[in-house]
Structure 1
Amino acid sequence: MVMLPRGTFTMGVPAGEEERETVPVDVRGRSSPQTRVTIAPGLAMAARPVTRGEFAAFVAATGYAPGSSCWAFSNNGSSYEYLERAGLNWRDPGFSQADNHPVVCVSWEDANAYAEWLSRRTGHVYRLPSEAEWEYAARAGTTGARFWGDANSQACQFANVADLTLASALNLDRRPQFSFRCNDGFVYTAPVGSFRPNPFGLYDMLGNVWQWTMDCLNPDLSGQSSDGATRTTGDCATRMMRGGSWSHLPWYVRAGNRARGHATDRFNFAGFRLVRER
């Protein structure tokens, strides 16, 4: 765990970022209005996402049985698609993983079950971060779209992203709007901590896997509290995810970008990390 310093930051994205990042017009505005948020001291965040090996220990100890279907990235030769596939699960997400890879094909509900087990086992309170806590940690004092800066070609030093490695392996579109202009060396997930950390010492805050947060779905940041608390109103059957993944287009992989998923859905490009309460 990494202790997050107390700090105030601007949550959301500034005018012009979504246009510059070629975000589709129909999904712009989800990360506005910008809101000043203060994160109190004493909150600790895991330096890395929960791994497949750590999740296996939870399953072995509790007998917990996640479902056996998972949304997966699919390439039909001409477009990017995401399809729900029966038989895929955290043990077999459709590609090879070692125990030091981030666990995937886990739902928001699965992530919370893991956090509850870890809390009982350790005597500390672990949970998913709020959206505000996650964004504060991802930005780590920076204000750009990504903590390493805006240069597309630098991404592979810091994150496992949709890059030229992925495009070459799966014969995908190599134009800049579809892939970062670098090679990170991984087609699917990478072992956690394989890339350089952000200024807070956190690894894989962007790329590798999307990360579940506690917040219910709200269409934008209207009503976001100034203390960074979890938003428990809105569509709570759907929860927010952050960070982008190994398979998502560059515009997704931004500190301020907000995505969503049904709380019971599982994705082979999404996992989670925890925070420890003060």
Structure 2
Amino acid sequence: MKKQAVLIGANHRPAEPADSVQIPGDRLDRLAQLLAARHVGAFDRVDLVRNPNRQALIDTLESACVALQRHDLILVYVAGFCVTDDRGSLCLATADADNPAVLTDTLPLASLALMMNLSASQQQVLLLDCAHENTRPVGVQGSQTLPTADLGAPFRSVVTARAPFLPLPAINPIRMDKGDAGEPAGKVSFPLADSLIDLLEKGDPSGSRRYLSLSRLCELLGRGNVEAAPGQTMPSLSVYHADPSLQDQPVAHNRAYVSLSRACARQLSRGETSNKNTARADHGQACGRQPRTEWFKYAVGLGVVLFTFLALLAVSGWSLRPVQVMVWNNSQGILNFVTAVVQTDPASRPFHDLLLTGGHGPVMIALPPGNLLMGSSDSEAERFPSEAPQRKIQLERFAVSIGEISFDDYGRFVSATGRRLPEDEGWGRGERPVIHVSWHDAVNYTRWLSAQTGQRYRLPSEVEWEYLARAGSTTPFSTGSCIHTDLANYNGKFDYARCGARTGVQRGQTLPTSALPANPWGLYHVHGNVWEWVEDCWHTNYQQAVASAAAWTQGQGGQCERRVIRGGSWRFKPGYLRSAARLWSETDESSQDIGFRVVRDL
């Protein structure tokens, strides 16, 4: 997981230049240093922007947000002066806004939240330190509270605090440029900045946790660590948690953290100065020390673990690698089961299994159990008779590779078995999907992968493939009723049902396995790039199919010298990319646009 912060000091006030109200630059500098410090915030990237104009502010936020992935954390802090537009919405004054009556160059706070929605990150924090003029434009009615409802999202926590604001005659201008010194006689307070710096420097006073969680951070900020100026009262803090799971998200290291062993050592050290024996007994009990009989139980348990480890080591020929592979790979199933129990999001965490020969297998993701309406309806454009009749099927949990098997993945198999690496058509290897592989080649890869990991890998059944491709959708594509060359690799010279799929883009080759956006379950290129082998024999329709997720390989007129391929490819029209579309290929045939992905039993 990556962590990124954007700190914005948009402190321009739309008034006379002599009345500009700005936050001292050293506060933002210090906050940026603490967030970037490895032993404090440990953020991978911190962007600091001072007094941007409206377009620069939009560009900064967009570039920061679109670069993040699903499990990354983004923290956006905004300190500035807010004005109210003619609709009663609070807007952030930028360097463009020189007249309080002209608000076209300001940025509505709700628009700021919409820009954060561009990010794929499901862990977002928005902190707002906003000073606000006491007056409104003529004719504006209603409350002046910050619109947290407009700022919220299912995956975002919002913390707002409107700073107290002194009358204009009491304010002296300060510039935000680095190196400025001096404080105004009467100034705007920015309580979130001051309190956040204080907490990052000193940590949680309780010292009981290694990290500052989001909920704990908000709780401490709400106590108002910064003293109010004479004649002023500090504003109340407003905290909005859309997703309860975000409340335990670690934001920074707790610099006041003291481990239990260190705390007990200090207690014993203080006790020994007065009465050694009494102190050891009292403080040992306070620190949770157990009687010697308890330690005997722990010793027995440790002995059992050690004996089991030595037994496994002996069975594996006294080589650590097989033990490591077995323990690691079996733990993945346990972790995915626990994740499925405690997590409501269908998309699970990515994982991989270790290989006996070194390295690891393809990156996998566990899919939830669910129901699938397989096939297409009579009303779906460009459907084939082979996609009927529709039928409902229930599926259990299984894991699938997040993308097609790449040349890198397949290359480990080739090196271990002495096979010849397939041709790449001059397009490159690496992370591009392996091509020129027959159905038999794909099956042999899954068997080798199973032997290397101790887990059961295989090609997906046709039911499983359509389930993962739809990702809960019932539309022709997981993207909806249409597809676009920004979302899939196909022949963009053709349209689909006049929906706008004809973009004129025809790449004429494969793309790396994660080059385009993933579907809602985190799977790449389920539409287009390469056709994908599945386990099933070819049947001309679903007339005799049973309502089972297992591969349909025997009986009912199946042609097992032909196997089903799914998903479409870079050289096919968009209609072939539909979730229900299906074709076949000979089992010993290979092609420049056929690859495969694998599934793993859980």
TM-score of Structure 1 vs Structure 2, range by shorter chain: 0.7 to 0.9
Partner of 2:259: none
Look up the match of 2:244: none
How far 1:60 moved relative to its partner?
1.0
Greater helix share, structure number = 2
Task: Give the aligned partner of residue 546 of structure 2.
Answer: 225
What residue is the counterpart of 1:48 in the other structure? 403
CA distance in 2, matches of 1:207, 1:142: 17
Give yes or no for the alignment of 1:132 onto 2:488. no
Displacement of 1:183 after TM fit?
6.0
Give yes or no for contact 1:104–1:268 (8 Å, CA) kept in 2: yes
Q: Which ranges of structure 1 fall in alignment gaps of 5 or more residues?
A: 67-89, 164-173
Amino acid at match of 2:407: R
1:79 maps to what in 2? Answer: none
For 1:35, the aligned partner's letter is: R
Residue in 2 that maps onto 1:77: none
Separation in 1, partners of 2:420, 2:544: 36
1:156 is paired with a residue whose SS is coil
Partner of 1:106: 437
Identity score, percent: 35
Distance apart, 1:156 and its partner CA: 1.9
Q: Which residue of 2 aligns with 1:71?
A: none
1:199 aligns with 2:528: no
Q: Say whether residues 1:162 and 2:486 are aligned partners.
A: no
| Letter of the structure 1 residue corresponding to residue 451 of structure 2 | R
Counterpart Cα distance in 2 of 1:224 and 1:133: 14
For 2:388 and 2:472, the matched residues in 1 are separated by 19
Flag the 1:157–1:121 CA change in 2: closer, same or farther, 3 A: same
Task: Answer whether contact 1:209 1:270 (CA < 8 A) is retained.
Answer: yes
> Does residue 11 in structure 1 map to residue 339 in structure 2?
no
Change (3 A) 1:132 1:269: same
Distance (Å, rounded) in 1 between the aligned partners of 2:598 and 2:494: 35
> What's the counterpart of residue 241 of structure 1?
565
Aligned with 2:385: secondary structure?
coil
**Which letter maps to 2:435?**
V
The amino acid that maps onto 1:228 is: A
**Which residue matches 1:84?**
none
Q: How big is the shift at 1:161? A: 1.2
Cα deviation for residue 2 of structure 1 reads: 1.1
The offset of 1:56, in angstroms, is 1.5
Does the Cα contact within 8 Å between 2:489 and 2:528 map onto a contact in 1? yes
2:531 aligned to which of 201, 210, 223: 210
Q: Pairwise mapping of residues 85-100 of structure 1 onto structure 2 (< 5 A)?
A: 90-92=422-424, 94-100=425-431
Q: Distance in 1 between matches of 2:412 and 2:505?
A: 29
Please state whether the residue corresponding to 1:36 is helix, strand or coil.
strand
Structure 1 counterpart of 2:598, which letter? L
In structure 1, the residue corresponding to 2:485 is in which secondary structure? helix
Secondary structure in 1 aligned to 2:522? coil
What is residue 83 of structure 1 aligned with on the other side? Answer: none
Aligned to 2:63: none
Distance 1:4 1:105, change over 3 A: same
Return the index of the structure with the highest Cα Rg: 2
| Aligned match of 2:582 | 258
Amino acid at match of 1:270: I
Change (3 A) 1:219 1:182: same
User: Normalising by structure 1, what TM-score?
Assistant: 0.80
- What TM-score, normalized to structure 2? 0.38
8 Å CA contact 1:95, 1:188 repeated in 2: no
Contact map agreement 2:393 2:549 (CA 8 A) in 1:
yes
Indicate whether 1:275 and 2:599 are aligned: yes
What is the SS of the residue equivalent to 1:176?
Answer: coil
Question: Larger relative CO (CA 8 A, sep 6+): 1 or 2?
Answer: 1
Structure 2 counterpart of 1:146, one-letter code: F
User: CA offset at residue 129 of structure 1?
Assistant: 0.2
Q: Residue 30 of structure 1 is aligned with which of 369, 386, 389?
A: 386
CA distance in 2, matches of 1:193, 1:61: 25
Distance 1:183 1:143 in 2: 27
Quick check: 1:186 aligned with 2:507?
Answer: yes
In structure 2, C-alpha distance between the alignment counterparts of 1:131 and 1:266, rounded to whole Å: 19
Distance in 2 of aligned mates of 1:177 and 1:256: 14
Aligned equivalents of 2:504, 2:431: Cα separation in 1:
21
How large is the Cα RMSD of the aligned pairs? Answer: 1.9
Q: Deviation at 1:65? A: 4.0
Q: Deviations 1:12-65 (Å, cap 9, x if unpaired)?
A: 001121xx23x5xxxx31000001011112x10110110012112211110124
Contact 1:97 1:189 in 2 (8 A): no
1:184 to partner: Cα distance: 5.9
Q: How many residues align?
A: 234
Q: Which residue of 1 aligns with 2:53?
A: none
- Contact 1:216–1:239 (Cα < 8 Å) also in 2: yes
CA distance in 1, matches of 2:396, 2:482: 32
Give deviations 1:138-170, integer Å, cap 9, x for gaps: 001000110101234xx223211112xxxxxxx
**Runs of 4+ in structure 1 over 4 Å off:** none
